[in-house]
C-alpha cells in the first residue's frame, strides 16, 4: 500500500505558517520564537528517529497548568487581549500535541488547532501580509487535509484487510502510485476553485450586522497620541516623542477635476485651538494646555445623510478642491479636510458636526473603523459671511510673551519703529499690519529656533510656562511649540490667531495617485486673521520649503509605494467591506441585470420592428435561400463522405482479409484494424508484400531478416491484430492514436534501413 | 447498514452467518457533523465580529463541504470491475483474488474507494472486499483481495458496492453495480495419515494388485516395433537383425491400486450435528481423493448428487478436478441411504479396486454386504477418523454445507 510520505512535511510547514501568522497578527515575538524553536527541534528528533512521545499525563498536566495562567493574564484586559492570550494558549496546545504525536488522531487535532490559531489571528489584524499568508495557509491546509484523509483511509484499510506488505506484488504498488501526484493536483485545484468561488460569494453577499457584535471591532486600533495626532496639546508632559510611520489616511486630490499628482504639500486641517491656559490660578490642573473655544451659535450637526451640504455652493469659476479621504481610525472623532469645506459625502449615512467659523468637521463618536468620505473644499480659510462670530475670550498671555513679541527684531520694524507699537486696532480686531507682523513672526521663529522632538533634558524648565521657556531659554522644540509660540505672540498683540492641528503630507504615491498621510505627518501651524482674511503660517523650522527641489525617491521608494497601494486597496476593499458595500454591490448587480433585461428587450423590439419592414423580408429571403443552399450542399457533402468512408472501410476490409464477414462486423473490424492496414501498406511500399497463401503470423516469421527492433514491432503489431480480430479485444481511440505514432516511428526506421530480401 | 444474507432462518449458532455491510447511498459521517458544527461556529464568529477574513474562511468551508459531496460522487462513478478469480477455492484456505478496476472517466481520478461484495457472501467467512487507493483517469488498477471460503459448492458473485468518503470524509457515497461471476469451492482438504494411504495401497484380499502393464521397466513384457524417439537401449538387436526391422522390448510396470470412494451423504436427522458429520465425511473423502491422486493412484467415486453419480477410477489432474467438483457440489441428501449407495457400487468394483466407504455414522456391514466384497469403512463419527484426517483449524464443519442450514421447528 502506498505510504503517504508527503503528509508529515506538509504538516510541519503548515504548523510553521500557522505560528508565524499568529505571531505576525498578535505582534508576539515570544510566541514566534518559542513555537518555531519547539517545532524545529521536534522535526529534528523525528528525522533522526530519536523522537519519543511524552506521556499523556505530562501533556495533560502542562495544558491544565496553562489554563489558569491564561485566565490570570487576560483578566482586566480588553477583548483583544483575551483573543491574543487564547491564541498563545493554542500555540502551547500545538507544541504539546506535537511532542505527544502517536497516531492519526493527534494529527487531526494539530490540523484543527492550526486553523483555530489562524482564525484567532484573523480577528486580530487587518494586515495585507497576513491576508496573503492566510491565503497560502488555506491552500496548504487543503492539500494537507486531502493527504491526511488518504493516510487514514489507507491505514484503516491495511488493518481491516490484514494483507501483509510482502504479499502485495510490486507491480501493484507501482500501479497504485502512478499519476497520483497529477490526480492530487487536479483534485486540489478543483476543490480550491470551488472553495474560492464560495468564499468570494459569501464575502460579497453575506449580510453583516450593523452593531458591534459580541466581539466588537478590534482590527483597527487607534494609535497612542504621543506618536502622532491628538485633539489636545498639553506641554505638561516633557518627553521624547516617538514618530510612527503608521498610515493614517490615503487622500486623492483633484483640483477642478484634474488629479493632483504631488508637487505640493497637502495640508489637512483637523481641529483649531484658540485658548491657551497659562499658569494662572484659574487653570489649576489644566495649566499650559491649548483648547478649542466653541460658542453656542457656532456649529451644527447634520442629519444622518450620506451627502451633507456645509455651505452654499461658490460661484462658477471658483477653484474647487475635491478630496477622497480613506481615513483609518485615529482614536478621535476628527475628520480631516483641506480648508474651506463646501460639502461632504460619506460612504455610509453619518451625522457630521461642522463648525462654519473654523471650518472643522467631526463625527459624533470616535472612529473605531475606517471611514471613506469625499470633501469638496475652497482651500480658503475665510468662513461664510453669516458664520462670523465674535472672537473668543482668551486668557491674558504671559507678559514675557508680549515683551518678546514686541521686540523689533521679532515683529519687524520700519522707519517709525517696531510694528508692534504701531498696531493701533483694538484687541480682537483686524489691523492692516497684522499680516506683516505675522509673517515676521513666522520668519523669525524659522530662522532662530531649532526643531527637535527630544525634550527630555528640558525638565529644568518645570514650573515655568513652556512657551516662555521655549522663547527665552530652550530655543528649540517641536511644531506645537513653534505654532503655540507664534499664536500666543499674535494674541498678545491683540491679533486674532489660532493654532491648527492636522496633517501635512508630502508623500505622494504615483502608483495609486494618492497622498499617503502617516502619523509622523501630524503637524501644527497657525492661522491669523489679517486684513486680507485668514491666512496660514507655518513657523516650524526645518520643514522643507520647496517640495520640487527635493530629490525624488528611487526604486525602493517605488516598491514601498506599490506595497502601500496594495495595502490600502486591501484595507479598503477587503477589511473595510461592510453592509453598505454589500448593499451597493447588490444594487449594482440588480441594476446591471435590469439593464441587461431592458437592453435585450429593446433588441427584441427592434428585431420585431425590423421583421415587419419590407426590406427585412427581402434581405431575409436572400439569406434564407443562401442558407438552404448551404444546407443542401452540406447534406450532399455529408452523404458523400459517408459513402466514401464506407467504401474506404470495405476496401480496407478486403485488404486485411475480412471481406467475408457480415458488413457491420467488417466495418467495425476495419476501423479497429486500421493500424494493420497501414502496416501492410507501409511494408508494401518497401517491397515487403504478404503473399495470400501466408497467414499474417507466417508472413511476420518470413521477415526475420529485418533489424531486430523493426521485426519486434511488426511482430507485436501482428499479435495485436490477432487479439483484435479473433480475441475480441477493443482498441480505444487513444490506443489507436498511439499505434499510429508507433507506425510512424516504424516507417522512419524502415526508411533508414536498407531492406534486403532473403 | 449491516444485514444477514437473504433467505435464511437463523440456526442455533447465529454467528455462523456472514455479516454483509451495505452502505447507504449517501451518508454523512461523524466528521461531517463536526465539520458542519465548526462551520456554523465560524459563520457566527464572522457575523458577530465583522472581521471580513472570517467571512472568507466561512465561505471556504461552505465550498469545501459542497465540493466534497460532488467529488465523492465523481469518484465512485465510471468504474468497471473485472474479477480475476482462481479456478477454485478450498474451504478453510485463503483464496487470493484480484480485482482489476478500470477508471473509465476521461479526466477525474478515483481515490480511496472500497469495493465490497454483496452477493454470494455467505460462501465466505467475511464479506470479501478490497481497497483501491488510486486509479488515474483512463487507467486500470489491480487490487489484491483475500477471500476466506467457508462453504463448499458453486458460489455466484454478482452485485458489489463501491463506497468512498473522499476527499475529506464528510460525505460518504456508495453505489451498487453488478457483474456475474462464479467460483467453485472444494470441500476442506486435510492431511491424510500415511497409514491410511498404505492401507489403501496394500494388496487386495481377493487377489494380486500387481497387474502387469506395458510401459514400465520391470520385467520383459513383449516386443514391438521401434519408433524414433524411444529409448535406443531397449532395441532388441537380435530380433531386429533377424527380422530386418528395428524392434524394441516392452517392459512391465506395476499397476497402481485403484480406489473407489463410496460417499454416504445421507442426513438421517435434521440437526446441525448430523449435518456436521456429513460435511466431515465429504471432506474426508475429498482429502483422500486428492492425496491418492497426487500419489498416482486411480480413484473413482460413487455418491448421490441428485442422481447417482458413478465416476470410474482414473488418474490424473482431470480426474482430480472431476472428483473434487462432484464432491463440492453434493447436495443435501435426506433420502438416499447407505444400502442404495452400496447397490450402485458393484458395477465399478472389480479386481484390483479397493472400495472405501465414507459414512457419517458407525455402520456394521451385514452378510449381504460381506458377500459383495471387503471394503474399507471410514466413519466420521469414530475417533480413528479424527486421527487419520487432520484439517486446518479454520475449517468449521458446521458451516461447510452449501446452503445455510435450516432447523426444523
Cross-chain residue pair B71–A187, CB shorter than 8 Å: yes
Residue B112 contacts residue B165 (beta carbons within 8 Å): yes
Q: Enumerate the residues of chain A whose CB falls inside 8 A of the CB of residue B134.
A: 2, 176-177, 179-180, 183
User: DSSP characters for B70-82?
Assistant: HHHHHHHSSEEEE
Burial bucket for residue B232 (CB in 10 Å: 0-12, 13-18, 19+): exposed
Could you name the CATH architecture of B26-185?
Sandwich (2.60)
Given A145, A178, A202, which is nearest B139 (Cβ)? A178
Residue B203 in grid coordinates: 494388496
Residue B300: helix, strand or coil by DSSP? strand
Q: Does A173 or A663 have the greater pLDDT score?
A: A663
What are A270-326's pLDDT values in tens digits?
988 888 887 654 555 667 778 777 665 556 666 556 777 888 888 888 889 999 998
Which of A428, A429, A537 is CA-nearest to residue A487?
A537
Same fold, B26-185 and B191-206+257-399: no
Q: Tell me the average pLDDT across A78-101.
A: 82
Mean pLDDT calculated for residue range B143-172: 90
Cβ-Cβ contacts under 8 Å, A138 against chain B: 57, 60
Task: Mark yes or no for CB contact B165/A154 under 8 Å.
Answer: no
Note the CATH architecture for domain B191-206+257-399. 3-Layer(aba) Sandwich (3.40)
**What are the residue boundaries of the structural domains of chain B, listed by start?**
26-185, 191-206+257-399, 219-253
pLDDT tens track for A463-474: 778 888 888 888
Residues 6+ apart with CB under 8 A from A392: A274, A275, A293, A295
Segment B139-160 mean pLDDT: 89
Contacts of A123 in chain B (CB under 8 A): 45, 49, 51, 54
- Least-confidence region, from A118-127, A291-300, A329-338, B317-326: A291-300
For residue B386 the three cell numbers come to 479424527
pLDDT digits (tens, 9 = 90+) for A445-457: 999 888 887 766 6
CA distance A325 to A269: 13
Q: Which of residues 108-127 of A touch B (CB under 8 A)?
A: 112, 118-119, 122-123
pLDDT of residue A610: 77
| Whole-number pLDDT of residue B14 | 41
Q: Identify which of A118, A95, A145, A106 has the alpha carbon closest to the alpha carbon of residue A17.
A: A118
Of A207-211, B6-10, B132-136, give the range with the top mean pLDDT: B132-136
Give the model confidence (pLDDT) of A395-438 as tens digits.
Answer: 777 888 889 999 988 988 888 888 888 888 777 788 888 999 99
Highest mean pLDDT among A221-225, A257-261, A553-557: A257-261
Q: Mutate which of A206, A207, A569 to test chain B, going by most B C-beta atoms within 10 A?
A: A206
Partners of residue B124 in chain A, C-beta under 8 Å: none
User: What average pLDDT does the segment A202-213 reach?
Assistant: 73
Q: Would you say residue A546 has pLDDT above 60?
A: no
A338 touches A344 (CB < 8 A): no
Nearest to B51 among A123, A172, A186 (CB): A123
| pLDDT above 70: percentage of residues in chain B | 83
Residue A161: predicted pLDDT: 58
Residue carrying C-alpha cell 526391422: B245
Region A158-165 average pLDDT: 62
**H/E element holding B253?**
strand B247-254
Amino acid at each position: 500500500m502506498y505510504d503517504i510520505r508527503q503528509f508529515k512535511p506538509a504538516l510541519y510547514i503548515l504548523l510553521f505558517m500557522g505560528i508565524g501568522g499568529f505571531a505576525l497578527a498578535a505582534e508576539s515575538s515570544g510566541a514566534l520564537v518559542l513555537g518555531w524553536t519547539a517545532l524545529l527541534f521536534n522535526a529534528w528528533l523525528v528525522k533522526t528517529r530519536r523522537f519519543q512521545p511524552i506521556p499523556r499525563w505530562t501533556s495533560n498536566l502542562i495544558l491544565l497548568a496553562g489554563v489558569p495562567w491564561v485566565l490570570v493574564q487576560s483578566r482586566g484586559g480588553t477583548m483583544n487581549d483575551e483573543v491574543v492570550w487564547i491564541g498563545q494558549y493554542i500555540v502551547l496546545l500545538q507544541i504539546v500535541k506535537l511532542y505527544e504525536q502517536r497516531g492519526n488522531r493527534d494529527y487531526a487535532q494539530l490540523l484543527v488547532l492550526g486553523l483555530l490559531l489562524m482564525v484567532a489571528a484573523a480577528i486580530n489584524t487587518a494586515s495585507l501580509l497576513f491576508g496573503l499568508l492566510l491565503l497560502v495557509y488555506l491552500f496548504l491546509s487543503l492539500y494537507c487535509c486531502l493527504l491526511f484523509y488518504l493516510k487514514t483511509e489507507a491505514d484503516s484499510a491495511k488493518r481491516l484487510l490484514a494483507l501483509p506488505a510482502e504479499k502485495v506484488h510490486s507491480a501493484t504498488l507501482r500501479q497504485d502510485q502512478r499519476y497520483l501526484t497529477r490526480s492530487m493536483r487536479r483534485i486540489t485545484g478543483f476543490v480550491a476553485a470551488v472553495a474560492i468561488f464560495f468564499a468570494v460569494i459569501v464575502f460579497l453577499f453575506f449580510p453583516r450586522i450593523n452593531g458591534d457584535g459580541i466581539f466588537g471591532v478590534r482590527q483597527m486600533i487607534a494609535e497612542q497620541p504621543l506618536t502622532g495626532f491628538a485633539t489636545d496639546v498639553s506641554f505638561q508632559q516633557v518627553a521624547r516623542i516617538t514618530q510612527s510611520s503608521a498610515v493614517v489616511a490615503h487622500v486623492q486630490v483633484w483640483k477642478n477635476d484634474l488629479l493632483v499628482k504631488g508637487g505640493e504639500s497637502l495640508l489637512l486641517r483637523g481641529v483649531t485651538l484658540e485658548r491657551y491656559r497659562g499658569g494662572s490660578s484659574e487653570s489649576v490642573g489644566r495649566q499650559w494646555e491649548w483648547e478649542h473655544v466653541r460658542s453656542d451659535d457656532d456649529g451644527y450637526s447634520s442629519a444622518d445623510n450620506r451627502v451633507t451640504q456645509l455651505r452654499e455652493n461658490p460661484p462658477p469659476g471658483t477653484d474647487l478642491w475635491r478630496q477622497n479621504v480613506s481615513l483609518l481610525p485615529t482614536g478621535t472623532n476628527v475628520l480631516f479636510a483641506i480648508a474651506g469645506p463646501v460639502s461632504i459625502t460619506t460612504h455610509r449615512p453619518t451625522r457630521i458636526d461642522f463648525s462654519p467659523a473654523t471650518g472643522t468637521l467631526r463625527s459624533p463618536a470616535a472612529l473605531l473603523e475606517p471611514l471613506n468620505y469625499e470633501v469638496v473644499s475652497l482651500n480658503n480659510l475665510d468662513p461664510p459671511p453669516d458664520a462670523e462670530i465674535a472672537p473668543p475670550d482668551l486668557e491674558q498671555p504671559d507678559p514675557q510673551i508680549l515683551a518678546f513679541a514686541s521686540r523689533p527684531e521679532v515683529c519687524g520694524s520700519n522707519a517709525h519703529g517696531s510694528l508692534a507699537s504701531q498696531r493701533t486696532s483694538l484687541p480682537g480686531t483686524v489691523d492692516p499690519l497684522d499680516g506683516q507682523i505675522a509673517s515676521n513672526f513666522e520668519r523669525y521663529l524659522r530662522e532662530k529656533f531649532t526643531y527637535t522632538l527630544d525634550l527630555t533634558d528640558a525638565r529644568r524648565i518645570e514650573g515655568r510656562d513652556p512657551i516662555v521657556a521655549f522663547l527665552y531659554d530652550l530655543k528649540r522644540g517641536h511644531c506645537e511649540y513653534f505654532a503655540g509660540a507664534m499664536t500666543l505672540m499674535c494674541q498678545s498683540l491683540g491679533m486674532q490667531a489660532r493654532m491648527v492641528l492636522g496633517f501635512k503630507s508630502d508623500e505622494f504615491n504615483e502608483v495609486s495617485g494618492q497622498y499617503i498621510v502617516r502619523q509622523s505627518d501630524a503637524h501644527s501651524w497657525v492661522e491669523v486673521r489679517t486684513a486680507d482674511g485668514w491666512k496660514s503660517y507655518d513657523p516650524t523650522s526645518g520643514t522643507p520649503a520647496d517640495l520640487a527641489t527635493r530629490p525624488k525617491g528611487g526604486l525602493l521608494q517605488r516598491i514601498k509605494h506599490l506595497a502601500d497601494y496594495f495595502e490600502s486597496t486591501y484595507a479598503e476593499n477587503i477589511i473595510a467591506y461592510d453592509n453598505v458595500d454589500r448593499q451597493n454591490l447588490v444594487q449594482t448587480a440588480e441594476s446591471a441585470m435590469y439593464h441587461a433585461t431592458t437592453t435585450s428587450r429593446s433588441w427584441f423590439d427592434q428585431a420585431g420592428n425590423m421583421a415587419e419592414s419590407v426590406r427585412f423580408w427581402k434581405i431575409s429571403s436572400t439569406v434564407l435561400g443562401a442558407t438552404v443552399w448551404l444546407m443542401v450542399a452540406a447534406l450532399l457533402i455529408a452523404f458523400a463522405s459517408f459513402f466514401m468512408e464506407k467504401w474506404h472501410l470495405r476496401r480496407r476490409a478486403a485488404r486485411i482479409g475480412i471481406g467475408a464477414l457480415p458488413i457491420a462486423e467488417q466495418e467495425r473490424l476495419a476501423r479497429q484494424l486500421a493500424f494493420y492496414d497501414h502496416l501492410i501498406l507501409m511494408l508494401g511500399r518497401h517491397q515487403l508484400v504478404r503473399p495470400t497463401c501466408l497467414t499474417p503470423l507466417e508472413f511476420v516469421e518470413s521477415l526475420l531478416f529485418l533489424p531486430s527492433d523493426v521485426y519486434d514491432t511488426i511482430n507485436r503489431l501482428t499479435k495485436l491484430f490477432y487479439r483484435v480480430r479473433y480475441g475480441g479485444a477493443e482498441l480505444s481511440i487513444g490506443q489507436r492514436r498511439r499505434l499510429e505514432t508507433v507506425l510512424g516511428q516504424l516507417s522512419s526506421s524502415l526508411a533508414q534501413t536498407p531492406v534486403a530480401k532473403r | 447498514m449491516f444485514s444477514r444474507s437473504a433467505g435464511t432462518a437463523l440456526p442455533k449458532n447465529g454467528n455462523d452467518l456472514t455479516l454483509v455491510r451495505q452502505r447507504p447511498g449517501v451518508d454523512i459521517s461523524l466528521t461531517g457533523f463536526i465539520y458542519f458544527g465548526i462551520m456554523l461556529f465560524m459563520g457566527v464568529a464572522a457575523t458577530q465580529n465583522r472581521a471580513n477574513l472570517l467571512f472568507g474562511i466561512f465561505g471556504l468551508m461552505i465550498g469545501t463541504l459542497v465540493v466534497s459531496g460532488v467529488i465523492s460522487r465523481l469518484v465512485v462513478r465510471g468504474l468497471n470491475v473485472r474479477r480475476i478469480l482462481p479456478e477454485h477455492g478450498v474451504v478453510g484456505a485463503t483464496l487470493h483474488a484480484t480485482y482489476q478496476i478500470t477508471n473509465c472517466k476521461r479526466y477525474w481520478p478515483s481515490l480511496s474507494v472500497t469495493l465490497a461484495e454483496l452477493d454470494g457472501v455467505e460462501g465466505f467467512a467475511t464479506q470479501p472486499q478490497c481497497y483501491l487507493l488510486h486509479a488515474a483517469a483512463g487507467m486500470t488498477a489491480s487490487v489484491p483481495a483475500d477471500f476466506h471460503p467457508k462453504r463448499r459448492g458453486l458460489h455466484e458473485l454478482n452485485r458489489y458496492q463501491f463506497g468512498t468518503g473522499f476527499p475529506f470524509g464528510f460525505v460518504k457515497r456508495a453505489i451498487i453495480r453488478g457483474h456475474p461471476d462464479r467460483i467453485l469451492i472444494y470441500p476442506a482438504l486435510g492431511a491424510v495419515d500415511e497409514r491410511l494411504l498404505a492401507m489403501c495401497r496394500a494388496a487386495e484380499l481377493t487377489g494380486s494388485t500387481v497387474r502387469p502393464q506395458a510401459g514400465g521397466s520391470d520385467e520383459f513384457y513383449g516386443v514391438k516395433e521401434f519408433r524414433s524417439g524411444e529409448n535406443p537401449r531397449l532395441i532388441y538387436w537380435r530380433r531386429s537383425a533377424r527380422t530386418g526391422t528395428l524392434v524394441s522390448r516392452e517392459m512391465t510396470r506395476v499397476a497402481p491400486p485403484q480406489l473407489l470412494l463410496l460417499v454416504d451423504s445421507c442426513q438421517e436427522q435434521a440437526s446441525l450435528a448430523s449435518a456436521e458429520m456429513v460435511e466431515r465425511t465429504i471432506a474426508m473423502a475429498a482429502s483422500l481423493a486428492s492425496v491418492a491422486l497426487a500419489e498416482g493412484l486411480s480413484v473413482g467415486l460413487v455418491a448421490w448428487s441428485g442422481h447417482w453419480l458413478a465416476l470410474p477410477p482414473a488418474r490424473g489432474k482431470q480426474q482430480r478436478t472431476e472428483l473434487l467438483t462432484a464432491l463440492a457440489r453434493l447436495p443435501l441428501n435426506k433420502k438416499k441411504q447407505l444400502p442404495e449407495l452400496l447397490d450402485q457400487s458393484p458395477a465399478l468394483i472389480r479386481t484390483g479396486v479397493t472400495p472405501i466407504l465414507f459414512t457419517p455414522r458407525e455402520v456394521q456391514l451385514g452378510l449381504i454386504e460381506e458377500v459383495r466384497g471387503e471394503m474399507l469403512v471410514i466413519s466420521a463419527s469414530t475417533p480413528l477418523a479424527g486421527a487419520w484426517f487432520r484439517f486446518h483449524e479454520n475449517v468449521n464443519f458446521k458451516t461447510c454445507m452449501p446452503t445455510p442450514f435450516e432447523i426444523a421447528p
